Each structure stands twice: as C-alpha cells, then as structure tokens.
Amino acid sequence: MRLELEPQLDFSDVLILPKRSILESRKDVDITRTFTFRHTGKTWTGTPIIASNMLTGTFSMAHALSKYNMMTALHKHYPLEDLIEFFKHSDSNVLNNTWYSMGIVDKDFNKLYEVYERSGQKIEKILCEVANGYTNKYVESIKRLRVNFPESIIMAGNVVTGEMAAELILAGADCVRAGIGGGQMCLTRKIAGVGRPQLSTVIDTADAVHGLKGLLCSDGGCSQPADVNIALCANADFVMLGSMFSGTDECAGSVEEIDGKMYKKFYGMSSNSAMEDFYGGRDSYKASEGRTTLIPCRGSAALIAEELCGAIRSMCTYVGAEKLKEASKRATLIKVSNRLNQSYEKYTVGN
Ligand code: 5GP
C-alpha cells in the first residue's frame, strides 16, 4: 500500500480570481474553441460542452444543442435501425456535433460497422468508453478502433491519472474522457471506494494529454455553471454534462406528476434502473453503481445551453479573456474552504 498525502481538489474547493480586463462587454467574448484532432488532423469549432451519453444522449438533444454548436454523445442503447436513420438523414451540422458511443465487446464493433455501412456516413466522432479505462483489454480496443476507423476521431475513457490518459492517446485516442466517481448519479466512490476529485483529475490528465497533442474532456461532477468554468480554466478542452441536462424535454425518461408538479426520471447508466431498462436486470456478480432520481421538468435544453453560454462569457470577462482559449492562461484558481457551502440557496440551472 502507498499513501499519497498531496491534497486533491474538487471544483467546489476553488474560486476563480478576477483579473484586470480591457473587455467592454460580455458580448465581445468569443466562447468557441477550434480543435485539431491528433490522429486525423480534422478540426472542430464550437462551444466545448458535450451532453453525456446517459439519458441525456438523445437524437433530440443532438438537434437542440447543435444549434448552439455544442455536442451530444448519443447513448449506447439506441436500436441499430434508429441509429442508421439518424446518421443517414441528419444535417451536417448535427452530425458534426454528435459522438457515436460504444463499449468494447464484439457486439459493439459489429453495430458500429453496420451503422457505418448502412447509413453511408463515415462515423466521424466515436466515444468508446468503459467505467474503468485501466484494463489491457480496453487499451487493445482503442488500438483496434484506431486501426479499423483511421478517419474517425476517437474519445476514450474513463481514467483519472496522467499516465493512463497518455497511454490512451498513444493507443489511438484523440481525446481522453477523465473522471471516475464524480458524476452526480454515480455511486462508485460509495461502493468501490474508487475515484479522484475532479479538479485534480482535470489538471493532471490535461497536462499529460496536451503534451502529446491530445485533448481532454472533463466528465462528471458539474452541478452548476461555475463548475464548468472552473473545469475550462483548469485546462479541460471539453466538459461533459449529464445531470445538468437532466429533466429537460430532450432528455429521455418517463415523466410523472407528484403534487401537481411534473418530474422526469433520471438515472446513472450503471444503476439498477438502467440495467432493468436496457439489459432486463442486473448480473448478480455486479453491484449497482448508479443512483435513480426524479428531476423537476425544466423545459428545453436550449435554456440550459443559453445559460451556459452566458456563464462562460461572464467568466471570460472576469478574467479578461477575449477568447475562451485564453481563459486558462489568464485564470488563477484560489483554494477556498468550500464554495458550495457559501451559497445561501442551492442553485438550480434554469431557475
Ligand atoms: P454528471 O454530469 O451527471 O455529474 O456526470 C456525468 C457522468 O457520470 C457520465 O458522463 C458518466 O461518465 C458518469 N456516469 C453516468 N452514469 C453513471 C453510473 O451509473 N455510475 C457511474 N459510476 N458513473 C456514471
């Protein structure tokens, strides 16, 4: 056993210091980024927010967010025929902002081949993800994907340490998805005792992948726009959000009325609810590592997207960054006792 005593930080442990600025208005801030992907040389420009491949990863989310040049990672459970129709008929802006998601078993590879062949579309962005990105089998799967889909942009994860993030880039990923245990629907820290606070995860993994010309997607643990801003200041290229897009019209899930208020069911993709809905039950050797909850219905994801755009503009103005790209260079994060305890009311996006 080894014990590390280096402090590990979460988004809630810091605030961003304001800095002298010559910007006159928030309107002047460019909140888009342009990235070139390491293995394909392809580029993407947009506001680097991605709706997670949870129940938030729907076709309608992809349509809604693409209007803001934000991305959506489709969930893995769409039937083959629906995926083929989506990739065949969606316009180029929607496709440019969509990640196809898959796991690592042969069935996942076969499904991808079929969507590729039958939609007539090169699937340009592929998120190949597992809960634990540290296994040999997973690294081999990324190599296999890179060899078989040389023109696709690959995002791989999840990991929380620099050396494993670097290994995934070298295995063929263009972007690494970092975060274990920080998701709001996640129980991994409670069940397995495994994880790492998300801010330290982002700082460490971003440094590792950027040295190799890879990109970093911070995944999980953002419960308010400030967390997104802190992730961006900490050098995350993309920020993936599940819970923050839950309860929207575009999020999948059943709706129920309680005391005259409408709620939408939302759950982690390793929860008992997900196992029941997608696999007909949980394997007895696995523990459920996800929660199930009800989220008040809160209208279109467009409202959240607009609020996020406003929040990123505000942060950039405070740190004097004319372009989002400059924010991480200008930002100073200061450690505070706990930012979340300092707010008088719990913040809900869209309110
Ligand atoms: P959130 O934005 O909700 O805080 O976190 C979203 C991320 O949580 C997802 O992108 C995914 O990586 C992770 N996640 C989703 N469902 C589960 C689950 O059931 N268990 C665990 N451990 N993580 C989950």
CA torsion, ordered 325, 245, 241, 123, to nearest 10 deg:
-90
- Look at the block and give the residue holding tokens 């991808």: 112
Closest Cα to atom 22 of ligand 1 = 186
Q: Please list, in sequence order, all residues whose beta carbon lies within 8 angstroms of the beta carbon of residue 261, skipping any fewer than 6 positions away.
A: 296
The beta-strand segments (E) located in the chain are 14-16, 33-36, 43-46, 49-51, 71-73, 98-102, 125-129, 153-159, 175-178, 215-219, 238-241, 255-258, 261-267, 292-296, 333-335
Active site residues: 186
Dihedral sign from CA coordinates of 323, 312, 210, 112 = negative
Q: What is the Å distance from ligand 1's center to 183 Cα?
A: 4
Determine the atom of ligand 1 nearest the C-alpha atom of 289.
20
* pLDDT attached to residue 199: 98
Pocket test for ligand 1, best of 11, 52, 349 (most atoms within 8 A of CB): 52
Give distance in angstroms: CA of 120 to centre of ligand 1: 31
Q: What is the pLDDT of residue 345?
A: 45
Question: Which ligand 1 atom is at minimum distance from the Cα of 221?
Answer: 4
Q: What is the pLDDT of residue 326?
A: 97
Minimal-distance CA residue to ligand 1 atom 24:
186
What pLDDT was estimated at residue 348? 54
- Ligand 1 centroid distance, CA of 23 (Å): 37
Average pLDDT over residues 202-224: 98
Shortest-distance atom of ligand 1 to CA 53 = 10
Asked if residue 10 has pLDDT above 90, the reply is yes
CA separation for the pair 201, 180 (Å, rounded): 9
pLDDT more than 90, % of the chain: 90
Question: What confidence category does residue 26 fall into, taking pLDDT thresholds of 50, 70 and 90?
Answer: confident
CB distance 221 to ligand 1 below 6 Å: yes
User: Do residues 46 and 32 lie in contact, with contact meaning Cβ atoms separated by under 8 Å?
Assistant: yes
Tokens of 19: 């800095």
The residue whose CA is least distant from atom 17 of ligand 1 is 268
The residues, any chain, with a CB within 8 Å of residue 90's CB and separated by 6 or more, are 59, 62, 63, 98
Average pLDDT, the chain: 94
Asked whether 227 lines ligand 1 (CB < 6 A), one says no
Pairwise CA distance, residues 204 & 235, whole Å? 10
Is the CB–ligand 1 distance for residue 214 below 6 Å? no
Mutate which of 185, 190, 194 to test ligand 1's pocket (most atoms within 8 Å of Cβ)?
185
Average of per-residue pLDDT across 144-159 = 98
What atom of ligand 1 comes closest to residue 223's alpha carbon? 4
Predicted confidence at residue 349, as pLDDT, reads 53
| CB distance 188 to ligand 1 below 6 Å | yes
Quote the pLDDT of residue 230. 98
Q: Which residues contact 26 (CB under 8 A, 6 or more apart)?
A: 310, 313, 314, 316, 317
What pLDDT band is residue 186 in, cutting at 50, 70 and 90? Answer: very high
CA distance 84 to 250: 20
Q: Is the CB of 157 under 6 A from ligand 1?
A: no
Q: Is the pLDDT of residue 23 over 90?
A: no
Closest approach atom of ligand 1 to CA 184: 4
| 120-143 per-position pLDDT tens digit | 988 999 999 999 999 999 999 999
Is residue 46 within 6 Å of ligand 1 at its C-beta?
Answer: no
What single-letter amino acid sits at 337? S
Is residue 275 lining ligand 1, measured as CB closer than 6 Å? no
pTM: 0.96
